[in-house]
Structures are given as C-alpha cells and as structure tokens.
Amino acid sequence: MSSRTTYIGAVEIGTSKITVLVGEYTGRELAIIGHGECSSRGVIKGTVVDYKAASESTHSALEQAERDAGERIDGVFLAQTGGHLEGFYNEASVNVKASDNMIEPGDVRTVCDLAKSKELPSGRMVVHNIRRPFRVDGRLVPGNPENLVGQRLEVGYWTVHGQEQRLADNIHVIRGFNLEVRELVLASLASGHMITTPEERQHGVLAIDIGAGTTDYVLYRDGAPHTTGVVPVGGTHLTNDLSIGLRLTEGQAEKLKLRFGRADVRAKDRTQKVWLDGNFAIGDRQFPQMAIEQITSARAWELLEVVRRKLGSAFSPETCASGVVLSGGTAKLAGLADVAARVFGVPAHLGEAPTWVRENMRDPGYHTALGLLYYGVSSQAEKAGPARRGGGFLTGMKRLFAST
C-alpha cells in the first residue's frame, strides 16, 4: 500500500442486505467515514442469481456510502460466501539444504510453493491460501522459521477455492460500478477476525457467522485459521420453515421469527399463544408459541449440528478452549448461544465488536463488513512490510474508530 490516502470500500453482498463501508486508509491508519446499506435482491444463499437486480441494489448501497463519506471509493474489498466455496488441507515438507541445517529463505519458499501447488478441478479458483504454522522437525514454529536449525521443514495450507463463474459474477457486480476489486475475503475470516481476540485464536476458537442465506464458520487453532467452511443454510430457512409450518407469508413468518423465535424451547404450555401483529386489527391472528419455538429451535439445532459434522475431526473441545463465538443477523436468535454450547460441548457466546467500534456499528450484522476492512487492510499491510512507526496498526485503528 502506498502512503497516500486511499478510500476503500468493504462490500458484503448478503442474502438479505448489502452493506458497504468506506474506510479512509492512510497507509498506517484506517477510519470508517461512510456507510451504505440496501436490501438485497437477486442474491440467493450468497450467490448472484439475477445480475441486474443484484447490481442495482449493490450500486445503490455504494452510491449511498460514497455520498455519506463525501469521497469516491478507489477500490473494494469484497466478502465471499456461498455454498460453492470449499476448502482442503495440503501440506508439504522439505529437507533443509544447508550443511549446517540452518533454514534459509529458499527452503521456506520451496516448502510453501509445494504446499500450495495442489491442482484444482477444472473451473475452480483459489480464493485464499491460509498458511498454518511451520513445523521444524515436528516442533511448532508460530513465526518465520528462517535461521532456525533443523533437518526437516513442514508447512500446511488450508486452501479455499470457489467456482470461477460465481466468483466472476460477484466481481462483475462491483466492476459494473467501475470499481476495482482489490481483495476477495472469505466472509467467515472477516467476521472471525472482528469478534475473536488474538488470545482466543491462539487457544482455539470457533467463529460462526449465521447470515440470512448462509452460515460461515472458521476454526482457529494456534493463532491461525485452521478450517473454514460455508453451510448454505441461514436465517431465511427458519423463516421458510415458519412460513410452511404455520401457513404464513414470508413477511409474517419473518416477523414472528424476530419476535418469538428461539433456538431452544422455553414455552411450557402448549396452549400459550402469541399474536401475529399484536394490534388486534383485521387479519391479526394467534399462533401457539411452543410451535414457533419448536420450529425455529429444530432448524437452529440442525444448522449447528451440520457445522459440527462438517468440522469433523478438526474440532474437539480440547483444541477449542475459547469456545464458540456467534455473529451474524441470525445469531441474535434467543437462546442460540446455549444451543451452540450444548452442540459443541464448549462455552459459547454472542460475539461483540471490539470496544473501539462506534455504537451504530456494533450490531452483529456489521461484523463481516467491519472485518472486511480490518482483515483486507491488515493483510495488504502485511504484504507491504512492517509498519515504520510504533503503536501498531491495531492501535491506530482503535483510536480512529473511537474518534469517528
């Protein structure tokens, strides 16, 4: 990144809404200066299915954010989600070349290239190559292994890949506004970085972002992302279930879900009923509360069970000492943290944005967009090299978030 000020847009094209944040990045510090939001159209389960509708709503959010910021966006960090995203783990090892067994940059480069070199199926493209910590003769090395002494250097990469056409569709929606996509960031990584602390990531933590159409998760171990995944199930499925089960329109079902939906069943009395609108107007109806809770809780349990199953052996309570952190709009469903704790067997809580994030950005629905800016900028800053001044990037961001 150059030292001149750039205006970066963080765009999350979600199933229910499209969120755009504008960040002013000076090369050292980041400040959120604009915000745009628009209800999403043409997007199902995180995938663009109607280019024109998706473009219109995205561009509307972009225009709104630019107006709010009073600046033109130079480039965009775009969140990626959807069922087409998959991941696999690949590792490689090399024998250290030097006669004194001191690891040289060439050894590191070779082992990294080897670990990333697995061929993808046709039509698939790499979105992220997430490196896990190096190992020197089986010993874990969290940082750079250069100049350490050992005979064998190992490294593994968690590679996230997606379908080329779907990635291109997302990029072209942004390009339709004549903006350059500078970085694709997995939505789970973005929100995960926002709601977990470095200590939690070091001890092991599972971050689950439950959106409207998809559920993104990332499991951190040893301070780095270990496994990521996407389940194409989200809050709209709960609404659908309510709609079908109680014979309601989607709007009515959504209203009931938000007001009375729970991830666990608390109602004791089957006859206890709740009003749809509560205004006793014509068309206002009563529904059994237990039925609502049973429907939403069944889907919530199922969703978390699916995540548990997809994680497989990568997850164990022993390697996830910091528990489960939930985020996303659907994470606000009452009782979801308790259910998550029971499903995963570890403590669970609703994720919160760091204290330096201003009040109107603290809703779980913004975690991904905030994380996009944070993760995208910090990853680019890492590529550009270490910061020249003391205080660190995070300190600067905290100060600026607090002042805005």
Alpha helices per DSSP H over 261-335: 289-311
CB closer to other proteins out of 177 and 260 = 177
| Residue 101 in contact with other proteins, rule: CB under 8 A | no
Among 167, 169, 137, 129, which residue's Cα sits nearest to residue 153? 137
Strand partners, 218: 207, 228
| Residue 113 in contact with other proteins, rule: CB under 8 A | yes
Strand partners, 141: 134
Distance CA 3, CA 370 (A): 22
Burial of residue 19 (number of CB atoms within 10 Å: 0-12, 13-18, 19+): buried
| Residue 305 in contact with other proteins, rule: CB under 8 A | no
| Residue 59 in contact with other proteins, rule: CB under 8 A | yes
The residue from 1, 41, 53, 63 that contacts other proteins (CB under 8 A) is: 63
| Residue 127 in contact with other proteins, rule: CB under 8 A | yes
Distance CA 7, CA 21 (A): 10
CB closer to other proteins out of 53 and 350 = 53
Residues near other proteins (CB under 8 A), total: 38
**Rounded to 5°, angle at Cα 383 from 377 and 384:** 85
Q: Is 155 left (phi over 0), alpha (psi -120 to 50) or beta?
A: beta
Residues 159-218 that bind other proteins (CB under 8 A): 162, 164, 167-168, 171-172, 175-181, 184
| Residue 126 in contact with other proteins, rule: CB under 8 A | yes
E-only strand ranges, 205-362: 205-210, 215-221, 224-231, 273-275, 286-288, 324-327, 348-350
Distance CA 325, CA 191 (A): 10
> Stretches 33-41, 109-117, 282-290, 348-356: which one binds other proteins (CB under 8 A)?
109-117
Site string for other proteins, 76-95 (x = CB under 8 A): --------------xxxxx-
Minimum CB–partner distance for residue 94 and other proteins (Å):
6
| Residue 56 in contact with other proteins, rule: CB under 8 A | yes
Decide: 209 and 120 in contact? Cβ < 8 Å. no
| Residue 120 in contact with other proteins, rule: CB under 8 A | yes
CB closer to other proteins out of 90 and 202 = 90
Per-residue CA distances from 393 to 352, 354, 369 (Å): 20, 15, 18
The residue from 3, 39, 51, 97 that contacts other proteins (CB under 8 A) is: 51
CB closer to other proteins out of 182 and 299 = 182
Q: What are phi and psi of 227, to 5 degrees?
A: -145, 140
Q: Is 378 left (phi over 0), alpha (psi -120 to 50) or beta?
A: alpha
Minimum CB–partner distance for residue 324 and other proteins (Å):
29
Minimum CB–partner distance for residue 259 and other proteins (Å):
36
| Residue 71 in contact with other proteins, rule: CB under 8 A | no
- 333 DSSP 8-state letter: S
- In angstroms and rounded to an integer, the radius of gyration of the C-alpha atoms of the chain is 22
| Residue 151 in contact with other proteins, rule: CB under 8 A | no
Minimum CB–partner distance for residue 65 and other proteins (Å):
12
The residue from 116, 332, 349, 362 that contacts other proteins (CB under 8 A) is: 116
| Residue 372 in contact with other proteins, rule: CB under 8 A | no
Q: Strand, coil or helix: what is 41?
A: coil
| Residue 55 in contact with other proteins, rule: CB under 8 A | yes
Q: Strand, coil or helix: what is 155?
A: strand
| Residue 39 in contact with other proteins, rule: CB under 8 A | no
| Residue 49 in contact with other proteins, rule: CB under 8 A | no
The site for other proteins (CB under 8 A) is made up of 51, 55-56, 59, 62-63, 72, 90-94, 111, 113-114, 116-120, 124-127, 162, 164, 167-168, 171-172, 175-181, 184
